[in-house]
Amino acid sequence: MPRHSPEERVIIFVESTQDATRIVDLVSSLGIEGVPCADYSELCDQIENGVAVIILSEVSVISDSGSRLASLLHAQSPWSTIPTILIPEDSTSTDELAEDLRLGVTTLERPVHMRTLWTVLRIALEARRNQYIVRDLLQERGALIVQLRHEADMKNEFLATLAHELRNPLAPIRTGLEVLRRAPPGDPVTRTLDMMERQVTHLVRLIDDLLDVSRITRGKLELRKQKVPLSLLLSNAVESSRPLVDAGKHTLTISEPDEVITLNVDPTRIAQVISNLLNNAAKYTPKGGAIALTARHKDDTIQIEVKDNGIGLSPEMLTKVFDMFSQVEPSMTRSQGGLGIGLTLARRLAEMHNGTVEALSAGPGSGSTFTVTLPCDEQCHPKPPNGRPGPHNQPAAHGQSHRVLIVDDQLDIVQSLQNLLSLLGHSTVTASNGPDALQAAKDFKPELIFLDIGLPGMTGYEVARNLRALETIPKPRLIAITGWGDAHHVSLAQEAGFDQHLTKPVDPLEIERILQSLEEPIQPYDAHEDFPASGAQSPS
């Protein structure tokens, strides 16, 4: 007889050896293995090894809720209910049994005709096979979920790595731009610089969008809320989107309430929401178009509306425009640049603030209107005579000369940063690895060290710990410069002894601010800071 799987067996425990033999023969006629059990212990052992159907004659072995068999039947997997056929000597003993057991118990009164038992057994076997199908489907589903989660993790890791790798070539380009900008002025040089700066800014924006998508997908994006004037949020968003608006020769009109409105929001993220909507309007409006940014106070909310007279949206696109990587007109999207995630980010960020973003359009060629609605719990006050506050003063270009050590294994980054610092009047020494950096720190005694994290052999974290262990007075200020900008790496930098964490490509103005702050006491920075710790990120 071929060996059957334990899951296909019929376990038999009846008081009569003759009855057991007849049932085994009946089971064999169905191509199934019948396993008679000599005692209660063997019955439980066989069930634990796998079973398709159980045939019992003694009700007492399962009527005891504390028995081993009852425990086995109640402890089955959610998909499993072992079909059990009872052939009791006294049918009255089974009246209350159904209430104590899971479904799947069939009771046959004596005398039992073998044809009846054969029919019931076939039905029970078919039911058990269906349960196995459900089990296999659940296992496949579980494996698929694991695979999808793994693929999602791989995608997020890819996005983070891609962003990190893109930042390295951007760093020397951005610093080199500032060096060229300080060279003798000339029309061709100025136009070239403006073009390069626009492209670098665009690349930085793409990278930030990629990282934001990754963070939101993993639930890692944290809001840093504070009370911020609505007018400041609008001006920051307009400032970020102005290059794209101007490039399209669009007319931008701004209208806001005649009262001071303060919102409790993450200012960087809400400015990013508004900026993304403005960028979208600028991209999908033909040259010389009109864009209107309007903010209004309505009940307990603030509505921020971006309206354009651009290409508009079809009814179908109105339902898809916020989907990830959605493109209204692929050829136009490619020509304007972008990843098709700006509107997705805008809606997700608004929802994280308990707000909404909605799109309206009368159809293709009729323009579009995007409205952000945010809760407003703050009191409103009349606006002062001069309206919104003026721009912040920019730091001076030059100050006291300082000794600066630059540590990075990428020559272009080192040279561009060294050129910038030399133009600013500071003394510099460079190193490309950890041991050289430690020796330079001993010999040069720098006041400030810009230290890359991804160094060969000895990481920037290890170098920082060794630098902090040196008995130098005063201690140099340590600035981490890296392509990794998530909260985990910021926390690692703090634990290693860094005073600040900057993400590549670093804004040259941030370099100047750090140099000018050397005379000020070092402020401890928050281990949970992310990109805002650098002070160099655009809001989009």
Give the per-residue SS3 of 209-252.
Answer: HHHHHHHHHHCCCCCCCEEEEHHHHHHHHHHHHHHHHHHCCCEE
DSSP assigned state of 452: E
Two structure tokens written together for 14: 């009846």
Residue 391 lies in a domain: no
Coil vs helix vs strand at 343: helix
341 and 446, same domain (yes or no): no
Q: How far apart, in whole angstroms, are the C-alpha atoms of residue 344 and residue 484?
A: 23
Same domain, 237 and 372: yes
Residues 236 and 370 in one domain: yes
Q: Considering the entire predicted model, what is its pTM?
A: 0.46
Given 90, 112, 134, the domain boundary residue is: 112
pLDDT of residue 518: 81
Backbone φ and ψ of 308, nearest 5°: -135, 170
Could you give the CA distance from residue 265 to residue 56 in angstroms, rounded to a whole number? 68
Residues 237 and 185 in one domain: no
Residue 136 located in a structural domain: no
Residue 510 placed within a domain: yes
Q: Terminus-to-terminus CA distance in the chain, angstroms? A: 72
Cβ atoms 320, 394 nearer than 8 A? no
Q: What is the tally of structural domains in the chain? A: 4
- CATH classification at residue 288: 3.30.565.10
Side-chain-side CA neighbours of residue 293 (13 Å): 29
Q: Are residues 92 and 186 in the same domain?
A: no
pLDDT at 538: 31
**Are the beta carbons of 14 and 38 closer than 8 angstroms?**
no
Same domain, 78 and 199: no
Which structure tokens are listed for 144?
Answer: 């698929």
232 with 367, same domain: the answer is yes
CA–CA gap between residue 212 and residue 98 (Å, rounded)? 56
348 and 488 fall within a common domain: no
**Are 235 and 325 found together in one domain?**
yes
Closest CA to 126 of 56, 30, 42: 30
Q: Are 448 and 476 in contact (CB under 8 A)?
A: yes
Count of CB atoms situated within 10 Å of the CB of 268: 20
Is residue 341 within 8 Å of residue 363, measured between CB atoms? no
Q: Within a domain: residue 472?
A: yes
In a domain, 196, yes or no: yes
SS3 call for 423: helix
pLDDT of residue 507: 80
Are residues 255 and 372 located together in one domain of the fold? yes
Q: Is 519 part of any domain?
A: yes
**Helix or strand or coil: residue 388?**
coil
Residues of the domain holding 242: 226-382
- Please list the pLDDT of the chain residue by residue as tens digits (540 residues): 445 677 889 999 988 888 889 999 999 888 889 999 988 889 898 888 889 999 988 777 666 666 788 788 778 888 888 898 888 876 555 555 555 555 578 888 888 888 889 999 999 999 999 999 999 999 999 889 988 887 777 777 766 766 666 776 677 777 777 777 776 666 666 666 666 676 677 677 777 777 777 777 777 788 888 888 999 899 888 888 888 898 889 999 999 988 888 999 988 889 989 999 999 999 899 999 999 999 999 888 999 999 999 999 988 888 788 876 555 554 333 334 455 678 888 999 999 999 999 999 999 999 999 999 999 876 555 555 444 333 333 333 445 889 999 999 887 788 888 888 888 889 999 999 999 999 999 999 999 999 999 888 899 999 999 999 887 767 899 999 887 777 788 889 999 999 999 888 788 888 888 988 886 554 443 433 333 343 333 323
Element (H, E) at 290: strand 290-298
Pairing of strands 356-360, 262-265: unpaired
Residue 139 falls inside a structural domain: no
pLDDT value for 175: 77
Asked if residue 167 and residue 75 are part of one domain, the reply reads: no
If residue 151 lies in a helix (H) or strand (E), which one and from where to where?
A: helix 114-181
Core vs surface per residue 49-75: b (16+ CB within 10 A) or e: eebbbbbbbbbebbbeeeebbbebbee
Is the C-alpha dihedral spanning 255, 258, 262, 263 positive or negative?
negative
